[in-house]
Structure 1
């Protein structure tokens, strides 16, 4: 089966309110609660290790600074709208937040870690005393694959109409994996006005987060701190720093629990920030038109999707560094007038540079990693355009950009399994010790 650039963008790029791991748990619980006749009285959740890891510490928007996957499930059940997909928690009210907090406080939510589960998986059971509803999410954060009431399967459009369109996930990713970098670049010729407006909406969405981060300095305040250093003339704003400031400021706001959506890429809001904002940040430094900027962003999303098709949605490797970072480096090289060889070189350069960055869960500190990824994406493209390219004899770098990105996938899916377990073990020990 063949897909189009429109199919890729619509499947891989979507607005998301809050970190997508707790949001996905909220979506599963909301989808189950939507078919439950009565008011939720008890919730049981089952999640894979990476969903668990990424939901431990990150703040949930609209809660006043609260976190936790158990709370996310309760919020989805009491105040979520599954028709909104990854913006499921947008309708939260103080009353629904209080109801969720009370249920968690009273022990009404159980969270189960499926230690041996591979791949993204969430199952939510919601009970009202007489009935039980269940929803299951697999492969993608908004891919609701089943909803049932008292063991009887129901049509997906009853509980998750927007999520139901994700049914071709496996076939789409198989198609992406068969493409070459040249194929991805050629797909840009198929962008139409609707696609360009969709891409521009991604800019507007993510810039709102960046502007909030620069104004108020939420989270760690990395973007605002970098901007302040420029104002104090302690560092100079160039293309690399501009990308770092804008991207980290947006992540500060998102990881700080600001109730503003991000335009996600490959299932992650932070991937979306990294894929979009470095490209937008450098446009003031060069001669370019909006059409070319949007084509560069489309390429960024396509390369991000290509890498994630090989690594899986969640892993021990920081996807903002090697997936969205690779996408951004490709987009920057394209925007700077680079040819296919320059784009390939940019991808190889950033993977050589950042392949060792681990994912230790979603939290405020992600802004540091996004600052690094954004700046390195621009630097990698600039290096490539200056003839600086990592050799295929070096480490995990392949003879082609495709092989290089596939090697990252192998490293992620085969080589980092024990690393992932160790990261989670350390995080759980911290949690249970009270730190």
Structure 2
């Protein structure tokens, strides 16, 4: 594949669209972004706010700490932070530069302002619809499909922006992903000019390793990363492959520990998720550094891991009852396979084996236990490769396993998108049943 190929440019575009910086869990940040934009359109601080959000948004915002709010959690904190201190032009870094004085104003605003939240009845998986009021004036902003895809801006009765919402719930402003394949992704990873992706991958390494290190250094959430290291000291002392795998799991989990529990460091996301961005990158970096892999090969392995995570997640959709870190962990396992010299056969078997093991891990929103799921996902991705090395594999007909890697990805995509819809509804009912 060469730079002038259309497919080459599409792969670059996908990475540019997906490897974006974000501070905090992306769903509350998307709410804060919508709120900041609505206040900007209104031109004043609202005295009333009404938010309608889809079930998956509510699920992912309910329990997570919103950064730069003094460790407040949930939807109301996200709305208030966006209105009081948000800078809409920063998009997913909308509340990255909140001052201590503004944190106090956010708390006061929550106490004194009517903020009503309801379940959106649009039937869309990803829907944030906020209307703000000041006297007789109002402004409305709606985000659909992905975290920054504004489809409606309205001030009073005047429609400033209106975009058609596609019936299949696909975003209108991203590259069509139907061209992607495991074989094509490997070809691109092998042939990409490093200069074309260096700014994206170097930033991902810098941001995601920094938050992983922060998660190990200080106390966040359930401290899964630290628990893994503390309970396996003998493994670290012995060194070798087992120690590297342990470090990879622990550092990825630690990044989520910090991110889910109020750390104010940014991450580079993947498929709209910071946890998926951490999972697809941190284990690959840990392995590359521990094995003394050169920078270029590490970058190529990260390109592979990121794109495979995106490829798997595309048929499932941005939000689902299916935990997306499973896909990202599979991507990381394939990236590690690449670092060890694996080619298409090894990568395909790693991917199929890994998906066969852990597909079906549920997403019950963003919170501390995401870090434990990341530890599981990384272990799972590596196990898929270890099975191949031992001459073991799952074959078509084993449960949902299909013959052919693309068929397997489609099979799991169908499970996450269609099969788990009722599961998703039941998860939300359980979470809201206080």
Do both share a fold (TM > 0.5)?
yes
Q: Matches of 2:410 and 2:225 in 1, distance apart?
A: 32
1:121 aligned onto 2:145: no
Identify the residue that residue 163 of structure 1 maps to in structure 2: none
Note the C-alpha offset of 1:316: 0.5
Report if aligned partners of 1:210, 1:251 keep a CA contact under 8 Å in 2. Answer: yes
1:226 aligns with 2:232: no
Residue 306 in 1 paired to residue 306 in 2?
A: no
Deviations 1:18-70 (A, max 9, x none): 01111111111111111222222111111111011011101111122211112
Equivalent residue pairs, number: 418
State the alpha-carbon separation in 2 of the partners of residues 42 and 191 from structure 1: 51
Distance 1:29 1:109 in 2: 11
CA deviations on 1:98-150 (whole Å, 9 max, x unpaired) are 33333333351111112562321111112222321111111111222222211
Q: Among 406, 410, 414, which residue is 2:410 paired with?
A: 406
1:379 correspondence with 2:387: no
> For the aligned residues, what is the CA RMSD?
2.1
Following the alignment from structure 1 to structure 2, what is the Cα–Cα distance between the partners of residues 171 and 424?
29
Q: Output aligned runs, 1:274-423, within 5 Å.
A: 274-321=279-326, 323-423=327-427
Instruction: Check whether the contact 2:36–2:88 (CA below 8 A) recurs between aligned residues.
Output: yes
Aligned-pair distance for 1:287?
4.8
Contact 2:32 2:79 in 1 (8 A): yes
Q: Offset of 1:326 from its aligned partner?
A: 2.2
Indicate which of 272, 280, 286 corresponds to 2:277: 272
Q: CA deviation at 1:335?
A: 1.5
Between 1:10-19 and 1:392-401, the stretch displaced more is 392-401
Deviations 1:219-253 (A, max 9, x none): 11111122223446688652321211110111111
Q: Which residue of 2 aligns with 1:160?
A: none
Task: Give distance in 2, aligned partners of 1:78 and 1:194.
Answer: 38
Native 8 Å contact 1:240 1:379 kept in 2: no
Match of 2:88 among 79, 82, 94: 82
* Partners of 2:229 and 2:135 in 1: CA distance: 54
2-structure distance, mates of 1:127, 1:232 = 60
The C-alpha deviation readout for 1:191-219, integer Å capped at 9, x for no partner, is 43141232011011011111111111311
- 1:136-188 deviations in Å (ceiling 9; x for gaps): 111111222222211323369xxxxxxxxxxx944746x32342211111222
TM-score (ref. length: structure 1): 0.91
Equivalent positions of 1:8-407 (< 5 A) are 8-106=14-112, 108-114=114-120, 117-154=123-160, 169-170=171-172, 172=174, 175-188=176-189, 189-231=191-233, 237-321=242-326, 323-407=327-411
Measure, in 1, the Cα distance between the counterparts of 2:411 and 2:237: 36
Q: Is the 8 A contact 2:21 2:268 kept in 1?
A: yes
- TM-score normalised by length of structure 2: 0.91
Deviates more, 1:95-104 or 1:278-287: 95-104
CA 102–117 in structure 1, closer or farther in 2 if over 3 Å, else same:
farther
Answer yes or no: is the 8 Å Cα contact 2:24–2:266 preserved in 1: yes
Tell me the secondary structure at the aligned position of residue 397 of structure 2: coil
Q: Give the Cα separation in 2 of the matches to 1:116 and 1:411.
A: 22
**CA shift in 2, pair 1:172/1:387, >3 Å:** farther
> Is there any run of 5+ residues in structure 1 with no aligned partner, and where?
157-167
- In structure 2, the CA distance between the partners of 1:127 and 1:398, relative to structure 1 (3 Å rule), is same
Q: What is the distance in 1 between the residues matched to 2:193 and 2:145?
A: 27
| 1:304 Cα offset (Å) | 1.4
Q: d(CA) in 1 for partners of 2:78 and 2:353?
A: 38
**1:95 deviation in Å?**
3.2
Contact 2:360 2:416 in 1 (8 A): no
Q: Secondary structure at the match of 1:27?
A: helix
